[in-house]
Amino acid sequence: MVGKRLVRVTVTVDRKPRGNYRPKATIEVSVKAAELETRPYIPRIRYIGPYGNDGPAEYQELLEAIKRFPEILGVEYGEYLGDKTPAGEWTGNTGIVIPSPIFTDKFRGSPTKYDHNGKAEVVNGDKKTNVEYTYSDRLCGHYVPPDSKTDEDGWHTESVSFYLLWKPGKKPDYSWEAECMIKSIREVVLRYIEEAEESGVSEPVKKEWSWPEERKKKTVSSVWI
C-alpha cells in the first residue's frame, strides 16, 4: 500500500571489535499492528552460508569456499529455493544465501561453533556436487496471531541473530553481506504478506438441511397393453 509502512525488514551488522572478533548480524521482520488482522505468514527462512573456519590456518581455504559457493548452488548470493534445485534437506525450504559462514560464537577461529552445519548433494543440470554448509533457521515459518505483542510504535518484531566471519584490515566492510541479506529476504517476506492482503472479504453463503426430509409423493402411471 502506497503511503503506509505495514511491513519492515531490518538487517544490522554490529561494529566488529578491534582484534580477533566476529561482528554480530541481526535480521528483523516487523509487522504493523493493523496488518496483524490478516494473520500474515512469516515464511521459514534458512540463512545458508559456506562451510569453513576463519582461524589463521584455515582463512585462505575459507575464502576459496566463499568464492565457489554460489557456483555450486547454481545461484548468486540472494534467494535460494530448495525445491528448484534438489539439495538434501533444503528441498522445499526457502533459503537466503549469504557470503559468510554462520557462527554462534563471536571469537575468531572458535572450533565447531557454527550455528548449524550439514551436507547435501546439489544437482545443477547434469552436474552433481557435494557441498558442506552452515545455516540458521531459528526464524521458522508460522502465521502471526492478531493479538501478538507490539511495541509502543505499534510494531510486532521477530528476529534472528548470528555472527559473520572475521575480516582483516583497519576498517573491515560488511555492507556487501548486509545488502545480500536484505535484498533477498524482502522479496520472500513481501510475497507472503501480499498474498494475505490480497485475499479479500467473501460474501456470506447459507445452506440448510433438516431431518426428516420432506419428500414429494411420486405418481406412478401404469400402461396396459
Domain coordinates of the chain in residue numbers?
7-197
The predicted structure's pLDDT at residue 224: 60
Res 160 pLDDT > 90:
no
Sheet with 155-163: strands ordered across: 7-13, 24-32, 155-163
Please answer whether residues 89 and 122 qualify as being in contact, where contact means their C-beta atoms are separated by less than 8 angstroms: no
The whole-angstrom separation of Cα 25 and Cα 12 is: 6
Quick: pLDDT tens for 80-133. 655 444 444 555 556 677 778 888 889 998 865 667 777 777 766 677 777 777
The predicted structure's pLDDT at residue 108: 92
Cell matching residue 165:
566471519
Overall average pLDDT of the 173-189 stretch: 82
The predicted structure's pLDDT at residue 134: 80
Of the listed ranges 3-17, 39-53, 58-72, the least confidently predicted one is 39-53
Q: Which of the listed ranges 52-56, 134-138, 186-190, 214-218 does the model predict with the highest average pLDDT?
A: 52-56
Quick: pLDDT tens for 67-76. 888 777 777 6
Overall average pLDDT of the 39-61 stretch: 83
Overall average pLDDT of the 197-221 stretch: 79
The predicted structure's pLDDT at residue 85: 47
Cell matching residue 217:
409423493
The fraction of the chain above a pLDDT of 70, given in percent, is 76
Q: Mean pLDDT over all residues of the chain?
A: 79
Quick: pLDDT tens for 126-157. 777 777 778 776 666 788 888 999 999 999 99
Whole-model pTM: value is 0.75
CA angle 139, 179, 136 (to 5 degrees): 25
